[in-house]
Structure formats: C-alpha cells, structure tokens
C-alpha cells in the first residue's frame, strides 16, 4: 500500500473519516443528502480540511464511486481508501483508515461522515489538547456525554487495526481510561449524527436558513 507523506513536520495527525456505511436505518445514502449548499459528506470534509489536521483519509464502502465524485478530488490533503469489508461494521472501517494513513502519523483523529455540524474550531481544540496534554486518547464531551471526533495516539495502532465488527474506538477508551483526556466543549453538535429521517430534519433545522 502506497504511503503518503506531505512535506510537513514529524508531528503529523491524520484524520480518518468513516464514510463507508450503508445507512440502513435511513434507507438511502445519508452522506449524499443535501446539507445547505452541498451535501452532508462535503460539509464534513470541508470542516475537517478547515482544521489543522495534516491529511484526511476518507474511508469509502457503500456507494463509493458516488461519494468520491462528490468530494474535492484535487485537494492534496485528501486520500481515499475503500473498505471492501464495510458491511461487517465500523471496526473494519477504522482499521482500513488507519492502515491507509501516513506512516509518519503520530495520531489518528477518527471522525464520522454524518456529523456536518462539527466545526473546525472544535477539531482544533481537540488537537491542541492532544498535543499539550501528553495523553494517548482525547475525547470531546458535552454535559458529561462523550462524542466525536476522537483522537488516538499511534501507540494504539495495533489495537486499532485489530478492531472488527461494530466495535469502534469507544472500546479503546474503556480499556485505557487512565490514558484519556475528556475535553468539555460547549458544542452539542459532537453528539448529533444522522441515523434516521428525523435526525436529518433536526440537523438541517440547525442551519441558519434551515436549508
């Protein structure tokens, strides 16, 4: 697998965007649904690229070609990888993304493709907290409830690529609570994802023009 190395320093953080899901509860590919002037996945990508992440690995699966075509293919900070085992659950997509990230990455910021309301400022806050704290795991929390995205240090590489099925990064947080920093944010958006039509309507209503 070809590795990508931007001309950046050694303190490289790779964002892993999980966009491979089948959207079974929605009944249609939610990543491609309209969101403002773009789509859910486009807005999520835009906010990630607006942050200080060094590269963005987009993990595709279901409707891979359509999703890839909807994203800025010319942006040199983006790379795409296809999880052929996406039907097995989120764990396989995390594994695929981590394996596709730069070998120089010191940490992985794991983000969900159906959280377009999370702004780049929140992502930067988590990155600053990771870099200044010395911990291996950083998790945003809103009023005591943990959300996304989550940062995992490279020392957890082997555990991340061992994930299977529907087991996500939250399991690593349970296993390594002593090495985790919970960052309180004034942003309920870290808890809001889109599983069903009512979730989609609720998130769209939070846009300025209710697009």
DSSP-derived secondary structure for 45-105: HHHHHTTT-SEEEEEEBTBHHHHHHHS-TT-TTEEEEE-TTGGG-HHHHHHHHHHHS-TTE
* Cβ burial 73-100 (10 Å sphere, 16+ → b, else e): eeeebbbbbbbebbeebbbbbbbbbbeb
Phi/psi of residue 103, nearest 5 degrees? -65, -15
The per-residue pLDDT for 179 is 97
Residue 158 confidence (pLDDT)? 96
Count CA within 13 A, CB hemisphere, residue 57: 30
pTM above 0.95, yes or no: no
Q: Are 129 and 117 in contact (CB under 8 A)?
A: no
Question: How far is residue 40's CA from residue 113's CA, in Å, rounded to a whole number?
Answer: 7
Give the C-alpha separation, 129 to 181, whole Å. Answer: 8
CB 100, CB 79: distance < 8 Å:
yes
Instruction: Give the pLDDT means over successive 10-residue stretches in the chain (211 positions).
Output: 40 96 81 92 95 96 92 86 93 96 96 96 97 96 96 96 82 92 96 90 80 48
Residue 57 to residue 188: CA distance in whole angstroms: 25
Answer yes or no: CATH 3.90.550.10 is held by domain 12-204: yes
pLDDT at position 207, please? 81
- At which residue do the structure tokens 């509860």 appear? 25
């Amino acid at each position: 697998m070809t590795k990508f190395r931007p001309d950046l320093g050694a303190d490289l953080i790779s964002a892993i965007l999980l966009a491979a899901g089948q959207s079974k509860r929605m009944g249609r590919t939610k990543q491609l649904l309209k969101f403002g002037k773009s789509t859910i996945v486009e807005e999520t990508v835009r906010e990630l690229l607006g942050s200080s992440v060094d590269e963005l690995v987009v993990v595709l699966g279901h409707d891979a070609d359509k999703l890839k075509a909807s994203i800025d293919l010319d942006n040199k900070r983006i790379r795409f990888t296809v999880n052929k085992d996406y039907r097995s659950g989120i764990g396989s997509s995390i594994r695929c993304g981590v394996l596709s990230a730069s070998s120089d990455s010191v940490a992985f910021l794991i983000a969900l493709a159906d959280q377009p309301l999370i702004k780049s400022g929140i992502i930067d806050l988590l990155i600053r907290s990771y870099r200044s704290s010395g911990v291996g795991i950083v998790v945003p929390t809103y009023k005591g409830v943990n959300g996304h995205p989550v940062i995992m240090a490279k020392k957890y590489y082997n555990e991340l690529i061992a994930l299977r099925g529907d087991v996500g990064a939250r399991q690593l947080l349970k296993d390594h609570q002593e090495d985790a920093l919970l960052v309180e944010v004034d942003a309920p958006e870290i808890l809001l994802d889109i599983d069903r039509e009512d979730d989609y309507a609720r998130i769209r209503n939070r846009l300025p023009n209710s697009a």
